[in-house]
Amino acid sequence: MTDLMHHTLYDGRRVAFRYTPGSSPQTSPCLVFLPGYMSDMTGSKATALFAEAEAKGRACLLLDYSGCGHSAGDFVNGTLSGWRDEVLALVESYVSGPVLLVGSSMGGWLMLLVAEHLKHRLAGLIGIAPAPDFTRWGYSDKQRDALAAGATIYEPNPYGPEPTPTHAKFFADAECHLRLDHAIDLSCPVRLIHGKADADVPWTISLRLETALQSDDVQVVLIEDGDHRLSRDSDIAAIKALVAEYYG
């Protein structure tokens, strides 16, 4: 894998990323992988897609949002707006051709926000267990009231020993980016893959997203025994097959 690099934004944020330009950066899509909440570019799906891109001469960009992984900052300050701007800054600075956005979980929500700013450059979107609007359907009224009042809430973390926090700043910003209850003005090809055994994001969220998208080319792939992570070899193979559709 290529060396870790850093990009400094206008306000001093320093974001870690990896980029391989591929053999046809002007014409072939650059896959931009957007990890999930509290995740980073070292995840199995991100690294597998990057390795395949390098092997096939395709452009690929991985990043850690500020406050995550190798990027500077404090997670407590992280927001969808801020992370969207970081992705856009990297794309504008390093990617010269069309863009294929691949968003995992929360990254599938962020994918929509980034896509709205890159319409003219989009080759397509791939959502992996996408979780748009999770601050609405993922929390109880009591939790939402606490967040609206400025509190931090903590939930059990099935993937690690420490509980998962949601901070009031993230919540307040997310309320400005709800997308599922109205038409989403994106017309590029979209593929959504979701496990029906997902205990974190109901697979029906992908169906709601399919309905909201205005694209005439949206397909939903459901993995009968797939969990939220979709990181088994068979799951990653299915994701790679979706990516291959965009390269002919």
What's the full length of the chain, in residues? Answer: 248
The answer to whether the CB of 240 falls within 8 A of the CB of 211 is no
**Which of these is catalytic: 105, 177, 194, 206?**
105
- Average pLDDT, whole number, for the chain? 97
Alpha-carbon distance 159 to 137, whole Å? Answer: 21
pLDDT of residue 183 exceeding 80, the answer is yes
**228 labelled catalytic:** yes
**Which of these is catalytic: 64, 85, 173, 198?**
198
**Which of these is catalytic: 104, 167, 228, 235?**
228
**217 labelled catalytic:** no
**198 labelled catalytic:** yes
Task: State pTM to two decimals.
Answer: 0.97
pLDDT of residue 1 exceeding 70, the answer is no
DSSP 8-class letter at 184:
B
- Comparing CA positions, the residue from 22, 25, 31 lying closest to residue 97 is 25
pLDDT value at position 168?
98
Q: Give domain 5-135+185-244's CATH architecture.
A: 3-Layer(aba) Sandwich (3.40)
Q: Judging by DSSP bridges, how do beta strands 164-166 and 190-195 pair with one another? A: unpaired
**Over the stretch 208-237, which tens digit does the pLDDT of each residue have?**
999 999 999 999 999 999 999 999 999 999
- Comparing CA positions, the residue from 104, 60, 63 lying closest to residue 192 is 104
pLDDT value at position 158?
83
pLDDT of residue 131 exceeding 70, the answer is yes
